[in-house]
Amino acid sequence: MLGKHRSKILVFVVAAILLAACAQLKQCAYEGVNRDDWQQPQRVIAALNVRPGDQVADLGAGGGYFTFRLAEAVGPAGKVYAVDIDRDMVDLIAKRAKQETAANIDPILAKPDDPLLPKAGVDLIFTSNTYHHIDNRIAYFSNLRKYLRPGGRIAIIDFDRRSWLIGLFRHYTPSEFIKPEMEQAGYSLKEEFDFLDRQSFMIFTAKP
């Protein structure tokens, strides 16, 4: 009996280790290699012009690459909603937020067609390297209008064709596709940045 009990404990421990490793592998897959070099996160955060106290949604947060940087930018009076449809990633962010006592981060397990943001709305919806994964994008982003506060913005960073490897796996959306889709979803282009080598970076506001 004791041997069987130990075997069950061993199986449980191994399963827990494998699950943790799976989450870490997913995080690595989402964040890529040497991401800081080509993502320029500090410059991105500066371009977003996030203010202390802002409410921000990190849509497709993954392992939290931008989540924790955004949380630092909005400060303790602000809030960052780390939104993802992958429970492993949501749990990973929740665990890290607890470890780092980042009380201004609120992980949300979203639906594929709705981020389930609070009804009070947010000042900024930010998404990086996620746009190309979204189905029915025009309908999806049209639905997001209800989550934007007056003057709220949507910032989209996504891969384009400039990297042959990204193009090979089709994990990209050309900027010439994003602009008309967002136009049809009810938004106007407010700003566009060209300092990212592999990605387009645009900020939109809702049309009146």
**Are the CB atoms for 54 and 45 separated by under 8 Å?**
no
Task: Residue 88: give its domain's CATH number.
Answer: 3.40.50.150
Is residue 96 included in any domain, yes or no? yes
pTM (predicted TM-score): 0.82
Is residue 194 included in any domain, yes or no? yes
Question: Which domain covers residue 137, as residue numbers?
Answer: 35-206
Q: What's the total number of domains in the chain?
A: 1
Is residue 135 included in any domain, yes or no? yes
**Are the CB atoms for 156 and 144 separated by under 8 Å?**
no
What is the per-residue pLDDT across 4-60, written as a single tens digit (0 to 9) for each? Answer: 545 545 444 444 444 444 445 555 545 556 789 889 999 999 999 999 999 999 999
Q: How far is CA 97 from CA 54, 74, 167, in A?
A: 18, 15, 34
Is residue 56 included in any domain, yes or no? yes
- Rounded Cα–Cα distance for residues 120 and 118 (Å): 5
And the tokens for 173? 């959306």
What is the per-residue pLDDT across 105-138, written as a single tens digit (0 to 9) for each? Answer: 999 999 999 999 999 999 999 999 999 999 999 9
CB atoms within 10 A of CB 113: 12
Looking at per-residue pLDDT, the higher value among 156 and 169 belongs to 156
